[in-house]
Amino acid sequence: MSNDPVELDSHRGMAAQKATGLRRILADAEAHASTLRERQLEIETQLLDAPAVSWSEAAAKARYVLNLYYAGLSAQDSHHRDLVASVLKDFARLDSES
């Protein structure tokens, strides 16, 4: 008896191999998304629980919220995308000046 793993993919057709590969990719993406959602909730809980003690901390919180908003905007909503980008540039400029 051998302890070497058996390569099952080589015994199946190409369509079955592709379907298995797709399932693996989707499962990996779901697991990664779940981890990201957990991390996002952790960050948001910290942002809610701890009041900002300086303008730069308040700006960091605002940047986070603006980035969430920006991510939800459609590509066609260029006006709001430009507005968010402008505010984020202002934050970066003012942060570097202080």
> Are 89 and 58 contained in the same domain?
yes
Residue range 32-86, pLDDT digits in tens: 888 888 889 999 999 999 898 888 889 899 999 999 999 999 999 999 999 999 9
> Are 56 and 38 contained in the same domain?
no
Structure tokens at 98: 């202080």
Residue 35 inside a domain? The answer is: yes
pLDDT of residue 82: 96
pLDDT of residue 81: 96
What residue numbers bound the domain in which 23 lies?
7-50
> Are 12 and 46 contained in the same domain?
yes
pLDDT of residue 64: 92
pLDDT of residue 20: 79
Spatial distance between the Cα atoms of 34 and 11, rounded to a whole number of angstroms? 33
Signed CA dihedral, 48, 53, 54, 55: sign only: positive
pTM of the model: 0.63
Q: How does DSSP assign 48-91, residue by residue?
A: HHS--SSHHHHHHHHHHHHHHHHHHS-TT-HHHHHHHHHHHHHH
Whether 20 and 8 have beta carbons less than 8 Å apart is answered as no
Domain end, chosen from 50, 67, 84, is at 50
Spatial distance between the Cα atoms of 22 and 15, rounded to a whole number of angstroms? 10
Residue 1 inside a domain? The answer is: no
Give the amino acid at 45.
T
